[in-house]
Each structure stands twice: as structure tokens, then as C-alpha cells.
Structure 1
Amino acid sequence: MDVSQVLRMNGGDGDYSYSNNSLLPRKVISMTKHIMEDALTNLYCTMNFPKTLTMADLGCSSGPNTLLLASELLKSIDKIRLELGIDESPEIQIYLNDLPHNDFNTVFHSVSKFQKNSSSPSCYICGVPGSFYTRLFLPKSIHFVPEMINTNKGNIYMSTTSPPSVIKAYYEQFQRDFTMFLKCRAEEMVSGGRMVLTILGRKSDDPCSKECCYVWDLLATSLNDMVAQGVIEEEKMDSFNIPQYTPSSKEVSNEVEKEGSFMIDCLEVSEVNWDASTDDNLNLSEKDEQGYNMGKCMRAVAEPLVLSHFGESIIEEVFERYMNNIKISMSKEKNKLINVTVSLTRKG
């Protein structure tokens, strides 16, 4: 399976679209806003108040969060400019990047309205389809970037029952991919340019810890139940693996230092509830609804991969089971997603 051809969020504006199930990423954007503002302030001052700025949102997806991040970038620049007493607004180019099958149509339909309401009269937006593990932009043109062969039987991700060879394969793939990502951005960014990355990660040193693997374990449970009932072939199940690695802050730091093109300005770990609107005061029926919302969020993320590998006939049953497993889990305990955010400066 060519992951770059199927890895995307659900498009459109339907019930299971990413556009309507993206509260968790919105919460993360809010939680990490201060890191982005610090990076932009340092950039703006260091670059001696440039008249033009070029920014890139890598992995922009589609829906309200895409242009929300662009809006936050413009507001931050405007706020910084006024605080520094600079009268003239810079012209800003924002590149929105994601894989080719991302729903760019939904994004582009919203651009004209966004530009009318923008705090910057001179803001230009364009889409850049392609993997960010390859070169995407001209050399030294970007100022700011906000943004397996082993047997893993019975699992779709790293798990406590995965053999050491699988854990090693995932980690080594992360090292290769993240190093390539840094090398590509280093070629594209200007000296002194800033990049803020927020990555799904973990606090624990254990790559199979519950904080990063449990949400996929529940999907594996759903698929394994269907294997036991003869709905899914066992060989099909064993050949399915989620193409994601959740690094610790130490692992992120190590790869940045080894690659050598960037200096770390800030490194923070944050956490967010599985459902961004979870409240301790909710009654039982409302908590059940929270599980339903989390189930829809995960479907928006995982459905294209599951559909590509297993086919359309089992999709509804898979995600009905998965949603039910999520509801049961959330009724018993509080689960969180961990994010690692790192602010970097391109070395001279």
C-alpha cells in the first residue's frame, strides 16, 4: 500500500468528515499558541521587521482548523507589529500543504471569506500538495513553519504484545522520516527562520505505553473480534499497521540535535482529553455522547486507511464496534492524548 495515496482525513462536510470532527486539534492549537507567538516575535525582531513574510502550514488538512491557524498567524504578526510600534503591515504568503488527496476544495472555498475578514490586507494563500518528507518549496524561501516488513500479529500498531523487532522498526522509521523532514525544511528556510512543530507523542519512555497506543488498541480489538467471527481474514488483519510513531520529547530533541540544522528554543509536552469538551460535571448520558464524539473524530482520521486495506463492505461494522469500545473505555476512565511541541530556529 502506498501510504501517501490513501493517508488523509475524511473530506467534505458529512457527519464523519474531519471538518466536523476536529475539536481535539483545535484545542491543541489553542494550548500551543503561546509557543508560536514567541517564535514569531523572535523572528520578526531578528529579521529587522521584514516587509514580506513567507509561512507554511505543513499537514493543513481541511475544515475550520486550517484557516483558523492561518488566522492566528496573522493576528499574532499584527499584535507583535503594533507592540513594536511598526506602522506598516508586512505582505504575507501562506502555503497550505498536505498530501495530494487532501480535500483542498473545501479549503479553497473558504479562502475568499477568510481574506475579507483577515486582519492583514496583504495576505496571499495557495495550496501545495505533496509529502512533507520531500522538498516542497524553493531553497531558503520560508520564514516560518507552524505545523513496515515485520510481523505484528493481532496488532495494528505498537503494543505490549508486539515483538521487539516491530518496536525497533517503528522507531527507526521515525528517525529516518524526521531526519528527512528536518533536512528538507533546512534547505527551504532562510537563516534565522522559525519553525514550530506539534507532534502526537508521549511522556513515557516506553513506546508501547497506554498514553500513545490505547486509542489504536481499541480499533485492533474491534478488528480482531471481526476476525474471530470470520468477517475479516486473519492474514488481512496481520498485514495492517497504522503508519504513525508517537515520540517522546527526548527522542524529538535527539533527532534535532543529530541532524544539526536547527537550534531548539522551546520544548513542551501538553495533554488533552480524548474529547476536548469532556467535563467532570456531565451526567451519564452526556458522557456517553462524549464517547460518540471521540468515535467520530477517530473515524474521520482512520477511515481512509481502513477503507483502502479492508474494503468498503465492512466499514460501518468496524467503526460501530470501535465507537462502542471507545464509549466503554471513556465511561470507566479518563484518557488523554499527549502532544510534543518544539520551537526551532534555522541555524546560519
Structure 2
Amino acid sequence: MSTFERYLTLWVGLCIVVGIALGHVFPGFFHAVGAMEVSRVNIPVAVLIWLMIVPMLLKIDFSALAEVGRHWRGIGVTLFVNWAVKPFSMALLGWLFIGWLFRPYLPATQIDSYIAGLIILAAAPCTAMVFVWSNLTKGEPHFTLSQVALNDAIMVVAFAPIVALLLGLSAITVPWDTLVLSVILYIVIPVIVSQIMRRSLISGGSTARLDALLARLQPLSLVALLATLVMLFGFQGEQIIAQPGVIALLAVPILIQVYFNSGLAYLLNRISGEQHCVAGPSALIGASNFFELAVAAAISLFGFNSGAALATVVGVLIEVPVMLSVVLIVNRSKGWYESAPAVARNSAHSRNA
């Protein structure tokens, strides 16, 4: 990683502080930017998100789905956690903490909106920062690539129905047109654009042109990430400063969700005998969120000043430091992980194969 990427946590922290401060000092500017929308989708945020995720998607060769068979245990565990556990466990945690335990301490009119934001956050598996987390755990790159490609393919068709189902169970009316439009804008279009660009750049069989473009785009991607954070926290700056107690309460189910899902994925991989270099990124993919899509969907569905938007922004607030703590746990527990009989047996089999 570059020096800039190595200190990404610092830059993220600074952007959060700057965004909150700017949102508090210049609320009118951020309100004006927030009004630049089409069908309730904010155009400046959309542009920044496209700049951020297209370079990441350019790295993904969707033919890497053929690699799934090599890491079937890790793939199976991650898919199970991402799609069969994570959204539903967050709905349960949201109801338990926000809808019941913390209800007396939260604005009554925003309870359902907070729960909706948590559900939207959990229903979108991370696709961009996963590459950073995987690299920090010395993760198997082919597994990470194939898992992200598979998650993206599933998310195109599954995100909207799962969110609509769970929000419907929460007695919230879902504007399907806006939700589907968000999926198209933040997943389908970037995937199509990136794959067209990728194929044109490697049409001659060489990746030299693609590598050169990625080298130029990578700084732009990180700058777009930081600018997005400044923008998002600027939109919510007044609310964050005015409601620190609400932020703390919303963070509780998110923190439990991250550690529960990463721990579950890590343990299931260990029981199945998967290699540590696969179990690490599997746990991180199973726990992290595609917060860009989640924030965009929440804003599109409920508005910039809604409890749903605030809940997803809290996810952004704690995403990097919490995921870095999971990276630390995964790395330090490698010896314990590899002491499992199933892991040792499968590792020996792989060496002898």
C-alpha cells in the first residue's frame, strides 16, 4: 500500500471531522447541494460514488466467477452470512435495541426510520474496501476477487427485494421505483461501464493499458472516497452535533452486527477446514458494508435529514476503525485458527495434491 493508503484511517477521521464542522458552519451550502437531485437521487453524491467505485470494479474480471469452485467452503460461508444471516439479524437487532430497549431515549417519530437505515446498511455487502481489508490480512486474492464478483452479481437482483421485504415487515411503505433506481445507478451502471472499459483496455490480451489507467485512477478513487465522506457528514453535521446520544445508541446494534457476523464467518470457515488466507477476507466481507449504496438508498428513500440516512451514516462513522479491529483479531489469531484439526487436515491434503 502507498503511504496515503496506509494512513487511510487518519484521513477518514479528518474528513469526518471536517465534514461535520462544515455542515455545522455552512448548512445552507449543504442544503443546496442536497437539493441537486433527480427522482430523489442526489447527483453530486452519485458522481463521487461512481468515481470511487468504478476504479475498484475495473479490477474485477467477472470471469473470475470460475474461481468459485477452488474456495467453495469460504464462498459458501460468506454467501450464507451475507444473504441468509446479516440482513435478518440486523432487522432483529434493530427491533431489539432501537425499537424496544432504546425507544424511550430516541425521537418517537424516527424509530421506524432508524430501523430502516440499519436494515439498508446490512443488506449491502461491501465491494470496494474489501480489497483493502483482504490485503491487510494477506488474504487469497482470487478468493476475494471471485467473492466480490459473486456478491455484486447477487446484489443486482437481491438487494431491492430483501430490503423491501424487511422494510415491509417493519410496516414501512417502500417506494419500489426509487429503490430499484438506486440499485441501477449505484451497481448496474458502474458494473456495465467498468466491464466495457476493462474489455476495451485488454482487447489485445495485454493488461498494460488497464494497469496504467488504474495507476492514474487509484488516487482519484481515494480522493472521491474522502470527498464523499466530507459530503455525507456535511449533510448530517447538524444532526450529529445535535444528537450525540442518538449516534451512540445507533452504533450499538451496528457494532454487535459487525463482530457477530465476522466471528460467525471466521468460526464456520475454521470448522469447515478452510485456509486462513480465505477465512480472513471471508470474515471481513461477511461483516463490512457497501455503505455508499446504503447511504444513497436511505437518502433516496427517506431524505437527507431522515433517521434512516443518519443510521447509515453512523455505519460510515464506525466502519473503518471497527474493520481495522477485526483485521487485528484475524491476524493475531492465525495460530489458533490453523490449530483446528479440519484446517490442518485440508492444508495437508492441498500440499499433497
Could you say which structure has the higher helix fraction? 2
Could you say which structure has the higher strand fraction? 1
